[in-house]
Amino acid sequence: MKKSLWFVIGFAIYAGLMWFYLFQGADANLPVDLKGSAADPKVFMTDRELELSTDFSRIKDFIYFISVPLEWLIYLFVLGFGLSKWFRKTSSGLTKFSIVHTGLYVLLLSFASWVLTFPLRYYSFTVSKSYNISVQSFHSWMRDGLVDFWINWLLTTVMVAVMYWLIKKYEKRWWLYAWLLSVPFTLFLYFIQPVVIDPLYNKFYPLQDEVLKGKILDIAERADIPAENVYEVNMSEKTNALNAYVNGIGSNLRIVLWDTTLNKLSDNQVLFVMAHEIGHYVMNHLYWNLISSVVLSFLGLWLGNIIYRKWVEKYGKSWGIKGIGDLAALPALLLIFSLLSFAVSPVENAVSRKAERDADLYAIQMTNNPKAAVGAFQELATVSLSEVNPPKLVKWFLYGHPTMLERIHFLDSYKTSKKME
């Protein structure tokens, strides 16, 4: 109980410091040499839009930096107060089938986490609504949340069942066998994502603008992308934000545009955005992402196993855990993986930002229309209330893309350099 109190006090202090950093202490002033340039938000945003973008971004950033340690606190709470032991006892007493035990345990743990994090998720939803980024109804938001819950429950149950079977059968090298099995599983998820999982959340249909579709497919053909169609998704039912992407592998490759992007951007701006997404495919970023996830999962499982053993050895008795093969130890394992994921995220984001910069360069070379490129990002920043120059800590942990300041300045500089040639 005393340790739990100290964790809560520590969390409250951390939240206060993070609030001060984001709302008072962070320096997000524009570099002097960029004032008045195309990257200066005062050039393409009104004073009101500037105020809203700053407030909205800082609130959403704060929610993120609170939600991550809250997840850790929940796992510690479930372990420290004996809930995990009770979940295991309850689930094992209902049936003799171990897969059912696992499914019930994961359901109880997932539900406890879902309930405890619901207020913060709901607050995030209401913030997006109040700033007119989200236009989604509460019913639709809850539906998406429940779909997400059950998909995660199913995937987690399968992974946990396999993992703990391996721990019991191969106690010393379970992590290696788990990693080997995760490779085809990850490939499978990449393959089915566009055609099985994504349609559970939104409706996808072929792009209705045949002229624009032809221009996009022309870029895809020049890039040797095996795409026969371009898909539109009806995101305007949920959000005013803009997006487009290429995902999937093999025959399930999909080029997708949000209908909000089509409604807000000109055709030339849309072509730049799609050329950017196509650039990811051309430079094999999708496959590099897959390879990096495989490598990181190897390192994560290896290091996670070491920490997991030490934690169970040191704290297992007080948690009511019988050993590393005890399902009641799952929150400790999930906590370790979450900590490792958070720790490595700045490196992952830095690599991702480099890939995004390369895709921007590919797109501008493919379309040769810097004005449309700059305009696309200016419009995206305005509509999505994106903070053009976020604090460094936010950039390190949250930005897998270059900041809007960096992207617009890069494209504007490209425009200038082209004029000088």
In the block, which residue shows the tokens 């939240």?
15
Average pLDDT of the chain is: 91
How much is the average pLDDT of 5-29? Answer: 88
pLDDT at 247 over 90: no
Distance CA 293, CA 187 (A): 10
**Which tens digits make up the pLDDT trace of 187-240?**
888 888 888 888 888 889 888 888 998 888 888 888 887 767 788 999 999 999
Is 28:401 a contact under the CB 8 Å cutoff? no
Residue 326 a catalytic site member: no
pLDDT digits (tens, 9 = 90+) for 115-146: 999 999 999 999 999 999 999 999 999 999 99
Q: What is the pLDDT of residue 357?
A: 95
Ligand-binding annotation for 285, yes or no, is no
Residue-wise pLDDT tens digits, 285-311 = 888 888 999 999 999 999 999 999 999
Indicate left, alpha or beta for 321 from its phi (over 0: left) and psi (-120 to 50: alpha): beta
In order, the DSSP letters of 39-68 are T-HHHHS-HHHHHHHHHHHHHHHHHHHHHH
Interacting residues of 387 by C-beta distance below 8 A, sequence separation 6+ = 28, 53, 54, 57, 58, 394, 404
Strand pairing class (231-233; 254-258): parallel
Q: Tokens for 201, please give them.
A: 């959340």
- Sequence-distant (≥ 6) Cβ neighbours of residue 328 within 8 angstroms: 84, 85, 87, 88, 319, 320, 321, 322
Q: Are 216 and 207 in contact (CB under 8 A)?
A: yes
Dist. CA 152–CA 158, nearest whole Å? 10
CA trace torsion 63, 69, 70, 76 (10° rounding) = 180
Active site annotation includes 360: yes
State yes or no: 232 annotated in a binding site.
no
Annotated catalytic residue within 61, 259, 277, 387: 277
From 40, 259, 360, 412, active-site residue: 360
From CA 400, how far away is CA 245, in angstroms rounded? 14
Tens of pLDDT, residues 350-385: 999 999 999 999 999 999 999 999 999 999 999 999
CA-to-CA separations, 352 to 39, 247, 254, 285, 394, in angstroms, rounded:
21, 15, 20, 9, 15
The average pLDDT across 82-99 equals 86
DSSP letter at 132 equals T
The pLDDT of residue 225 is 78
Residue 255 has pLDDT above 90, yes or no: no
Nearest-angstrom CA–CA distance, 417 and 421: 7
Report the pLDDT value the prediction gives residue 5, as an integer from 0 to 100: 78
- What 96-102 contacts at long range (C-beta under 8 Å, 24+ apart), as own/partner pairs, is 98/161, 98/165, 99/157, 99/161, 101/327, 102/157, 102/160, 102/161, 102/164, 102/327
Q: Above 90 in pLDDT, residue 3?
A: no
pLDDT at 415: 62
pLDDT digits (tens, 9 = 90+) for 25-77: 887 788 899 999 999 999 999 999 999 999 999 999 999 999 999 999 999 99
Cβ atoms of 105 and 330 within 8 Å: the answer is yes
Percent of the chain with pLDDT over 70: 97
Non-local (6+) Cβ contacts of 16 within 8 A are none
Is 392 exposed, middle or buried (CB count within 10 Å of its CB: 0-12, 13-18, 19+)?
Answer: exposed
For the cut 70, the answer to whether the pLDDT of residue 418 exceeds it is no
Is the per-residue pLDDT at 420 higher than 50?
no
Q: Quick one: how far is CA 74 from the chain centroid?
A: 20
Nearest to 381 by CA among 131, 126, 132, 53: 53
Q: Is the pLDDT of residue 106 over 70?
A: yes
Q: Is 280 annotated as a binding residue?
A: yes
